[in-house]
Structure formats: structure tokens, C-alpha cells
């Protein structure tokens, strides 16, 4: 009987070891943090602020304001928020949270995509103080409940694809407040204005270029062709699991 008990105990220890390895390492609870690293593949690193060092990411680790995530080659990461919203980054991407608050007054999320690709599935925000914004080097996208993805290309061109709902976009370089309400530009139309605000609806994409004219182009995209993108298909499957 003692041999059986010892063998069974060892089996449990080995099983626990492999379970932790398959999920990306030791698991830590997000606790009261407004978000957590709910899933990742490959090499993912994080740091608590700009002055700290990059450290290997830990599954379910809590994420707070100023936290940054960085993915390596063939790596991906998923962030889950208290309200059920998620944000995912593809390989060779970096996402930093400049604002990340969840309390009785609502949830505020502001992320900065420094490089790479991001997919966001945002629940309809509740509370007057709730907001969800993502910025790149050329644009700021604000949503209140939608599915969209952002690509930041090597030349700093921003590509936004909207799948559900709508996204309000303004240029990152805008200093003055844009006019309100924003005006929607019918596709396809290219303009070169110093300051503008754009509403991008479902099945539309917005391209913001970093050239001197600071132009933007709004047009529709083909959903069937879009599904040929492996990054899109992977996110669709992850969304279906929620």
C-alpha cells in the first residue's frame, strides 16, 4: 500500500509540472488588478513600467497601469479585462498600457501599440466614465463595444479593420480638439487634413499614412479575403471559445 501511495504522489507532481509548462510557466492570479495575461504562446515578456527590466511573462499574472507586453517570433499574447473584453497581440508586437483602471465608476483602458498587430474584442462599455482607446504612432482609436484589429506597419502606417460596431479615430498628432459631432467620409476617399475625426463602421478599413500630407483612406474590405489571413482566423477561433 505504501508503494502505491508514493507512486500516486509522484504521478501528481509530474502531472502538475507538465501542466504548468504547457500553459507557459507558473500561474499567478491577477487578483484585484484590472487585467491579466490570460493566454500566451511562445516567448512573451513584460515589465511593470518604462524604467524596469523585461521579465518572462507568467500565465494569469496581473496587469496594471504602465505595464508593457512584448512578444517574440512565433509568439502571441492575450489580455483579459474585468468586463470580459480581450486584447491580443501577434508575434513581434509591443503593447503598453498608459491607463488601466477598473472600479465602481467604470473601466478605463488606454493602450499604445508601438509595433506589430493587435486584435480587440471589446464588450459594450457600461458607466459614463468607461472608455477603451488604442493608439499607434499615427492614430488614436476609441470604441465603446466592438471587434477590430490594428496593424502598425514598419513605415508607421496604421491599418484599422472594423468587424462589429464602429470605431472613432483621430490622428495621433492632433493638438486641438476635433469638431463634434465627427463627420463620416464615404469610401473610397482620400484626404489630407491636419486634424480630423473619422467614424469607421463594420466591414470598413481605415489607412492612416505618416507622410507630410498626413492622409487617410477609408474603404470597404472583402470579409472572405480577410479570413485568409491566419492572424484573423486564429482570433476568430479564440473569440468563439469565449
**Topology annotation, domain 28-240:** Jelly Rolls (2.60.120)
What are the sequence ranges of the domains in the chain? 28-240
Alpha carbon separation from 218 to 55, 146, 176 (Å, rounded) = 39, 18, 23
Q: Is the pLDDT of residue 229 over 90?
A: yes
* pLDDT reported for residue 125: 81
Q: Is the pLDDT of residue 216 over 90?
A: no
Counting residues of the chain whose pLDDT is more than 90, the rounded percentage is 61
Mind listing the pLDDT tens digit for each residue in 151-203? 999 999 999 999 999 999 988 765 434 433 444 444 444 444 446 788 999 99
Helix and strand totals (H; E) in the chain: 3, 18
Tell me how crowded residue 133 is: count the other CB atoms within 10 A of its CB: 16
* pLDDT reported for residue 129: 79
Counting residues of the chain whose pLDDT is more than 70, the rounded percentage is 76
Q: Find, among 208, 86, 99, the residue nearest to 146 by Cα.
A: 86
Q: Which three cell numbers stand for residue 120?
A: 480587440
> Is there a contact between 39 and 22 (Cβ–Cβ < 8 Å)?
no
What pTM was computed for the model?
A: 0.79
Q: Please state the rounded mean pLDDT for residues 129-149.
A: 92
* pLDDT reported for residue 213: 54
78 vs 195, higher pLDDT: 78
* pLDDT reported for residue 196: 77
Distance separating alpha carbons of residues 121 and 154, to the nearest angstrom: 24
Alpha carbon separation from 155 to 114, 189, 208, 218, 224 (Å, rounded) = 12, 21, 11, 19, 27
* pLDDT reported for residue 221: 95
Choose the weakest-confidence range: 109-118, 127-136, 182-191. Answer: 182-191
Q: Please state the rounded mean pLDDT for residues 216-221.
A: 90
Coarse DSSP helix, strand, coil percentages of the chain, rounded to the nearest 5 percent: 15, 45, 40
Mean pLDDT value across the chain: 81
Mind listing the pLDDT tens digit for each residue in 2-56? 443 333 333 333 333 333 333 343 334 445 789 999 999 999 999 999 899 999 9
Amino acid at each position: 500500500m505504501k508503494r502505491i501511495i508514493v507512486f500516486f504522489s509522484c504521478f501528481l507532481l509530474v502531472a502538475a509540472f507538465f501542466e504548468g509548462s504547457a500553459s507557459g510557466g507558473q500561474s499567478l492570479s491577477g487578483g484585484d488588478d484590472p487585467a491579466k495575461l490570460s493566454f500566451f504562446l511562445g516567448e512573451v515578456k513584460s515589465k511593470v513600467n518604462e524604467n524596469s527590466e523585461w521579465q518572462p511573462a507568467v500565465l494569469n499574472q496581473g496587469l496594471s497601469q504602465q505595464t508593457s507586453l512584448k512578444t517574440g517570433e512565433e509568439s502571441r499574447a492575450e489580455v483579459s479585462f474585468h468586463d470580459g473584453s480581450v486584447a491580443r497581440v501577434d508575434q513581434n508586437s509591443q503593447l503598453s498600457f498608459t491607463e488601466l483602471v477598473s472600479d465602481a465608476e467604470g473601466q478605463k483602458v488606454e493602450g499604445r501599440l508601438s509595433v506589430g498587430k493587435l486584435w480587440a474584442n471589446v464588450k459594450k462599455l457600461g458607466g459614463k466614465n468607461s472608455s477603451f482607446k488604442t493608439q499607434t504612432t499615427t492614430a488614436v482609436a476609441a470604441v465603446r463595444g466592438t471587434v477590430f484589429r490594428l496593424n502598425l506597419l514598419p513605415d508607421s502606417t496604421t491599418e484599422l479593420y472594423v468587424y462589429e460596431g464602429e470605431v472613432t479615430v483621430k490622428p495621433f498628432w492632433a493638438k486641438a480638439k476635433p469638431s463634434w459631432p465627427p463627420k463620416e467620409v464615404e469610401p473610397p476617399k482620400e484626404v489630407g487634413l491636419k486634424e480630423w475625426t473619422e467614424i469607421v463602421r463594420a466591414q470598413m478599413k481605415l489607412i492612416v499614412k505618416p507622410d507630410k500630407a498626413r492622409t487617410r483612406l477609408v474603404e470597404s474590405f472583402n470579409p472572405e479575403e480577410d479570413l485568409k489571413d491566419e492572424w484573423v482566423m486564429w482570433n476568430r477561433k479564440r473569440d468563439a471559445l469565449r
